[in-house]
C-alpha cells in the first residue's frame, strides 16, 4: 500500500499557523505562491511554553518546492463539495473550504492515492488562533491508493503550544509562534460503514513556526506512520520544509513571493520592489480586517504616514497578482 506520501500531505495541510491567525491575513487567496525548500538536517522541536529558543542553525537548504493556489474546477467542486480554493506543488493537490471562522480540508490527492473528507471536513485552523489556543476536530471520509481503499475516521488536535525565538541559517526570528498538530485516524474496510473494526491507523505529529510578518510558516516539520497489520504494512515518514527566504539574510526585509517590501516596521513609507506595473493597487486593512484605504503604487513607494502606530495588513492587487503581507507602522 503505497500511500506514505499521503501521510506527509495530510499532516502538512492540517497545520496552518501564525502569531495571531486571522482570516483577513492568513486565509489563502487565488494567486498566492509559496516558495519553500526541503530541509537537510533534523529539526529541533524540543521545549514547549513561552520563552523558548529553537536552535535550528545547522539546517541547510535542499530542493525547491513551489506551491500555487488557484480556483477549483466545477468537476472538482462536485467531487469534493464545499471546496472554494485548491493548491498544487506539481505532485500533490489539496482542496480547501473557506468560511468566516475556519479553513477546512475537503480532499488531498497524490499520484499514489486520495484522501477525501466528504463525510466530515478536517479543520486546518480556526480564526482567530494564538498562543495557548487549542482545538480538537473530528474528521472522516474515504481513502484510495494504488493497492487499497476504504474508510478513514479520527481526530485532529491543533495547539499553539510554544513561542519564542527561532534561529535558522544565520537568521534570528523573535516573537515566533509554534503550532503543534497531532492526528489520529483509524482505517476501515469500505463495507464497515459503522466504523466497528479498524484495519489500520494513520498517526502523526507536525510542528510549524511563524513570525508576525509572514503569512506562511518559516519552518515546518512532519513525522507520521501508517500501519495496516492485515496487509503486513508498516511505514513511517519524516519531512521538513522552510521558506526559501529563511536561508537568506533578511534583516528589515520582507519577501512576499515575487516582491520585496521594506523596511518593516516602517514609519512613513514602505518600499516595494518586484513585478510592478501601472495597474498595481494597494489596499490596507486593520489587523482585525477592517478596510482602510486604497491607492496606486507610486515610484515603488507606499505612503503610510497617515496611519496610527500599530499592525496592519497590506494587499497587493494587479492584473496577474494578489498578495497579502502584515506590516507594522511605527
pLDDT-derived band at 196 (thresholds 50, 70, 90) equals very high
Grid-cell match 516539520, residue found? 221
Are residues 259 and 164 part of one domain? Answer: no
Q: What is the largest CA-CA distance in the chain?
A: 66
Are residues 154 and 297 part of one domain? Answer: no
Q: If you average pLDDT over residues 74-85, what whole number do you get?
A: 96
Domain boundary among 247, 280, 314: 247
Are residues 168 and 87 part of one domain? Answer: yes
Residues in Cβ contact with 84 at an 8 Å cutoff, skipping those fewer than 6 apart: 72, 96, 97, 98
Are residues 121 and 51 part of one domain? Answer: yes
pTM of the model: 0.72
d(CA 54, CA 193) in angstroms, rounded, equals 44
pLDDT in tens, 57-69: 888 888 888 889 9
Domain boundary among 213, 247, 281: 247
pLDDT in tens, 284-314: 887 666 778 887 777 778 888 888 888 888 7
Give the DSSP letter string of 173-226: EEEEEEEEEEEEEEEE-TT-TT--S--EEEEEEEEEEE-TT-SS-SEEEEEEEE
d(CA 185, CA 187) in angstroms, rounded, equals 7
Give the domain extent around 106: 4-247
Are residues 278 and 210 part of one domain? Answer: no
Are residues 218 and 111 part of one domain? Answer: yes
Element (H, E) at 75: helix 74-79
Are residues 211 and 272 part of one domain? Answer: no
Domain boundary among 199, 230, 247: 247
Burial of 35 (0-12, 13-18, 19+ CB in 10 A): middle
pLDDT value of residue 16: 47
Are residues 226 and 165 part of one domain? Answer: yes
Are residues 106 and 241 part of one domain? Answer: yes
d(CA 104, CA 106) in angstroms, rounded, equals 6
Cell of 33: 505562491
Are residues 231 and 116 part of one domain? Answer: yes
**CB 220, CB 34: distance < 8 Å:** no
Are residues 206 and 190 part of one domain? Answer: yes
Residue 287 is part of a domain; what is its CATH number?
Answer: 2.60.40.3080
Nearest 10 degrees: CA dihedral of 86, 98, 11, 32? 50
Picking from 44-53, 87-96, 279-288, which range would have the lowest pLDDT averaged per residue? 279-288
What is the total count of domains within the chain? 2
Are residues 236 and 111 part of one domain? Answer: yes
Distance of CA 296 to the CA centre of its chain: 29
Grid-cell match 515575487, residue found? 258
**CB 65, CB 9: distance < 8 Å:** no
**CB 52, CB 162: distance < 8 Å:** yes
Amino acid at each position: 500500500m503505497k500511500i506514505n506520501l499521503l501521510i506527509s500531505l495530510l499532516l502538512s495541510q492540517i497545520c496552518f499557523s501564525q502569531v495571531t491567525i486571522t482570516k483577513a491575513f492568513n486565509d489563502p487567496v487565488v494567486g498566492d505562491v509559496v516558495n519553500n525548500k526541503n530541509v537537510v538536517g533534523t529539526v529541533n522541536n524540543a521545549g514547549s511554553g513561552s520563552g523558548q529558543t529553537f536552535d535550528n542553525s545547522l539546517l541547510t537548504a535542499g530542493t525547491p518546492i513551489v506551491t500555487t493556489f488557484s480556483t477549483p474546477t466545477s468537476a472538482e467542486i462536485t467531487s469534493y463539495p464545499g471546496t472554494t480554493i485548491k493548491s498544487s506543488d506539481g505532485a500533490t493537490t489539496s482542496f480547501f473550504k473557506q468560511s468566516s471562522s475556519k479553513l477546512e480540508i475537503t480532499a488531498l490527492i497524490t499520484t499514489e492515492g486520495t484522501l477525501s473528507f466528504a463525510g466530515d471536513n478536517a479543520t486546518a485552523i480556526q480564526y482567530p488562533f494564538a498562543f495557548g489556543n487549542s482545538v480538537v476536530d473530528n474528521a472522516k471520509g474515504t481513502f484510495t491508493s494504488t493497492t487499497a481503499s476504504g474508510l478513514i475516521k479520527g481526530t485532529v488536535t491543533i495547539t499553539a503550544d510554544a513561542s519564542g525565538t527561532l534561529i535558522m541559517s544565520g537568521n534570528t526570528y523573535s516573537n515566533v509562534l509554534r503550532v503543534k498538530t497531532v492526528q489520529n485516524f483509524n482505517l476501515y474496510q469500505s463495507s464497515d460503514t459503522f466504523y466497528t473494526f479498524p484495519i489500520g491507523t494513520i498517526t502523526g505529529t507536525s510542528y510549524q513556526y511563524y513570525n508576525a510578518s509572514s503569512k506562511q510558516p518559516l519552518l515546518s516539520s512532519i513525522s507520521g506512520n501508517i500501519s495496516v497489520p492485515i496487509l503486513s504494512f508498516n511505514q513511517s515518514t519524516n519531512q521538513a520544509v522552510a521558506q526559501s527566504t529563511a536561508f537568506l539574510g533578511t534583516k528589515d526585509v520582507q519577501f512576499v513571493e515575487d516582491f520585496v517590501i521594506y523596511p518593516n516596521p516602517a514609519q512613513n513609507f514602505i518600499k516595494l520592489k518586484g513585478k510592478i506595473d501601472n495597474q498595481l493597487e494597494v489596499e490596507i486593512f486593520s489587523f482585525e480586517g477592517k478596510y482602510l484605504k486604497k491607492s496606486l503604487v507610486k515610484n515603488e513607494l507606499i505612503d503610510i504616514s497617515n496611519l496610527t502606530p500599530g499592525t496592519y495588513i497590506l494587499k497587493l492587487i494587479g492584473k496577474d497578482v494578489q498578495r497579502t503581507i502584515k506590516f507594522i507602522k511605527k
